[in-house]
Structure 1
Amino acid sequence: MPRTGASPTAGSPARALPPAGQMLGGVALLYLSMWCLATLDASGKWAMAQGAPLVLVSWMRYVVHVVLVALLIVPLRGLSVLKPRQLRDQLLRGLVMLAATLMFFSTLRYLPQAEATAIVFLAPLLVLAAAPWVLKEPPRLSRWVAAGVGFAGVLIVIRPGSGLHPVGVLCGLVTACLFAGQFIATRRLAGENPFTTLLWSGGVGAVGMSLILPFTLASGLPAIARLGTLEWLVLVSTGISGGLGHLLQIQAYRNAPASMLAPFAYLQITCAATLGWLIWSHFPGPLTWLGIGITCGSGVVIAVLEWRRQRAA
């Protein structure tokens, strides 16, 4: 899913472009992060298929994430990295991100990974379309057209006869809206240290799931008791792949501007489709690929247009 610590391309300030080699390094790091995040999604889907409750998967994802990131970041950046300048916005982003995580894992219970990822890719297009109201940015027809075309692509993916579970489709659309909210919250934290945001988002999720877990664990104890060593290792890996994915994203956006990297974020669909094929032998059909291509293509085109506007500025 497109869980990025960087903001969408809308309204990003213009700045001098770094050297070509550095930008290519940013693209490579971004693609590595896409593989990590797609692995997180696949691991969570597989663990739930083996009987792990949703709340346990989410709890492990956040607790391992925040422990790993804290061990890697705090010794290098010092304790000051734990102190946010915008506490309320950090809490808001963390809560929205937690809700999006729970909803996307719910989506993965019903839908193949590639299709679920394609639906969620509506999120950045929704932000661009709503930018005049939620981000107070000038209205642009190109953004609204891109959002409309992207939604048309999603309609092809979820078309009648596609075989997709309606509950999963609904969860996917809600997830896209939640991730759009997460992107907007990230924009409000543009002046914050990205490592601080990463730690606080993981911390809010870990605390939130720790509060929820005792009230929901009892019904899932029989299933948890049947989990073996492999299942527990996969559960731990969700936090590792999630934490590493976000760290790689931060480094990617430090090497190259967000407007340049935005089109490459859609390559995550190739990661999701590959893992879905390797693990579940599921590969999207031609019509589904057409819808995925339309959605991703609209995002790539608008990202390139935004990048060219910034360069012209």
Structure 2
Amino acid sequence: MSLPPASLTTRQVLAGVLLLVTSLWALSGLDASGKYLMGADVGVTLFAVCLVRYGVHLVLTMITIIPVRGWKALRSSRPRAQMARGVSMLAATMLFFTALHYLPLGQATAINFLAPLIVLAAAPWVLKEPPFLSRWVAAGVGLLGVLVVVRPGSGLDPTGTLFGLLTACALASQFISSRRVAVDDPYTTLIWSGAVGTIIMTLLLPFYWQDLLALPGRLSAFEGLVLLGTGFWGCLGHFLQIHAYRTAPASLLAPFVYFQIISGAALGWLIWGQFPDLMSWLGIAIVCASGFTIGVIEWRRNSASRAGIPAAAS
């Protein structure tokens, strides 16, 4: 999906970075909306938030993609992998919204960035890729950074921390599934992302339909708009990421992914007055440095592989 570096222009690189950073703010907007809705002042249930989040996502993708690409956009060459990815994505959403009920947005977002390091560490077993010591070291250092964030005395709720770590595991599963559906059109994956979550939440309706029916009478117009906005922000974030990676190579965009910690911390401060302390920022810096460093190593290793140079077991 990415353009070869030689064909890139400065405008394309800047456009790709802008699209990616904007997508991260949109996804942080989704997270902040979920945290707000499930707070004590509003009290929307997790199931109701997830149904609306994925239902709106599905409707938006259908009305924007199908008129342009036709019904063939629904066809997947790997439907089982798409379903597995959709289930992992829904699980990550539910776990993260639960974590946000207990944790500040900035710290919870930082814990999520353990997920790509888990994927790299587990790649020899789940993706049948060669083992590299550098990946395991990066995963270990990233875990150390997370431990600094959630250290005793940080004031973070243990229950929220546990759900945050479970979210990272669910995201790792989602990333692995994303590798397996890469043969499909990204817009097909975007539709399936909303469809799988919507179908599962619809099947679970008997357990929470009364809460759902009570929402119109309980929510103000603003709160209702925030609820609908969960689907909008989620869909917009993933849509912008598709275009970002079509505009500039993933290797150039990788370092900017960590801007989501900044957007998460900024929204947490603006809405709830929650801002990570100095030690938390140290842990966040360790996580980011670990991810950035292994990203550079992986990029160099892939470049050497394309050039026919044997990769060292590092």
Asked whether the two chains share a fold, i.e. TM above 0.5, the reply is yes
1:180-199 maps to which residues of 2 (within 5 A)?
180-199=172-191
Q: Does 1:126 align with 2:118?
A: yes
Check conservation: 2:26, 2:237, Cα contact below 8 A.
Answer: yes
Q: Amino acid of the residue matched to residue 289 of structure 2?
A: G
Hey, what's the Cα distance between the residues in 1 that align with 2:284 and 2:23? 20
TM-score, normalised on structure 1?
A: 0.92
CA distance 1:304–1:209, shift in 2 (3 Å): same
Q: What residue is the counterpart of 1:62 in the other structure?
A: 54
Q: Does 1:87 align with 2:87?
A: no
Q: What residue is the counterpart of 1:272 in the other structure?
A: 264
Deviates more, 1:139-148 or 1:219-228: 219-228
The share of aligned pairs that are identical, in percent, is: 56
Deviation at 1:79, TM superposition (A): 1.2
Check conservation: 1:51, 1:227, Cα contact below 8 A.
Answer: no
Hey, what's the Cα distance between the residues in 2 that align with 1:18 and 1:165? 49
Q: Does 1:28 align with 2:18?
A: yes
The DSSP-based 3-state class of the residue aligned with 1:110 is coil
Q: Deviations over 1:257-285 (max 9, x none)?
A: 22222221111000001000100011110
Hey, what's the Cα distance between the residues in 2 that align with 1:257 and 1:306? 14
- From 161, 176, 196, the counterpart of 1:204: 196
Q: Does 1:149 align with 2:141?
A: yes
Deviation at 1:238, TM superposition (A): 0.6
CA distance 1:227–1:304, shift in 2 (3 Å): same
Q: What residue is the counterpart of 1:309 in the other structure?
A: 301
Q: What residue is the counterpart of 1:9 in the other structure?
A: none
Check conservation: 2:83, 2:196, Cα contact below 8 A.
Answer: yes
Hey, what's the Cα distance between the residues in 2 that align with 1:116 and 1:257? 28
Q: Deviations over 1:114-134 (max 9, x none)?
A: 011001110000001111111
Hey, what's the Cα distance between the residues in 2 that align with 1:153 and 1:90? 32
Aligned length: 302
- From 278, 285, 294, the counterpart of 2:277: 285
Q: Does 1:48 align with 2:35?
A: no
CA distance 1:52–1:145, shift in 2 (3 Å): same
1:231-270 maps to which residues of 2 (within 5 A)?
231-270=223-262
Deviates more, 1:297-306 or 1:120-129: 297-306
Hey, what's the Cα distance between the residues in 1 that align with 2:177 and 2:275? 34
Where structure 1 has 5 or more consecutive residues not aligned to the other structure, the ranges are: 1-5, 7-12
Check conservation: 1:114, 1:269, Cα contact below 8 A.
Answer: yes
Hey, what's the Cα distance between the residues in 2 that align with 1:276 and 1:291? 17
Q: Deviations over 1:235-273 (max 9, x none)?
A: 000100110100000001111222222221111000001
Q: Does 1:169 align with 2:125?
A: no
CA distance 1:20–1:213, shift in 2 (3 Å): same
CA distance 1:144–1:83, shift in 2 (3 Å): same
Check conservation: 2:110, 2:261, Cα contact below 8 A.
Answer: yes
Hey, what's the Cα distance between the residues in 2 that align with 1:218 and 1:79? 34
Hey, what's the Cα distance between the residues in 1 that align with 2:280 and 2:245? 31
Deviation at 1:219, TM superposition (A): 5.7
Q: Does 1:298 align with 2:290?
A: yes
Check conservation: 1:131, 1:137, Cα contact below 8 A.
Answer: yes
TM-score, normalised on structure 2?
A: 0.92
Deviation at 1:48, TM superposition (A): 1.0
Hey, what's the Cα distance between the residues in 2 that align with 1:20 and 1:147? 34
The DSSP-based 3-state class of the residue aligned with 1:52 is coil
Q: Amino acid of the residue matched to residue 94 of structure 1?
A: G
Deviation at 1:160, TM superposition (A): 0.5
Check conservation: 2:3, 2:246, Cα contact below 8 A.
Answer: no
The DSSP-based 3-state class of the residue aligned with 2:208 is helix
Where structure 2 has 5 or more consecutive residues not aligned to the other structure, the ranges are: 307-314
Hey, what's the Cα distance between the residues in 2 that align with 1:171 and 1:20? 42
Deviation at 1:149, TM superposition (A): 0.4
Q: Does 1:37 align with 2:22?
A: no
Q: Amino acid of the residue matched to residue 19 of structure 1?
A: L
The DSSP-based 3-state class of the residue aligned with 1:190 is coil
The DSSP-based 3-state class of the residue aligned with 1:81 is helix
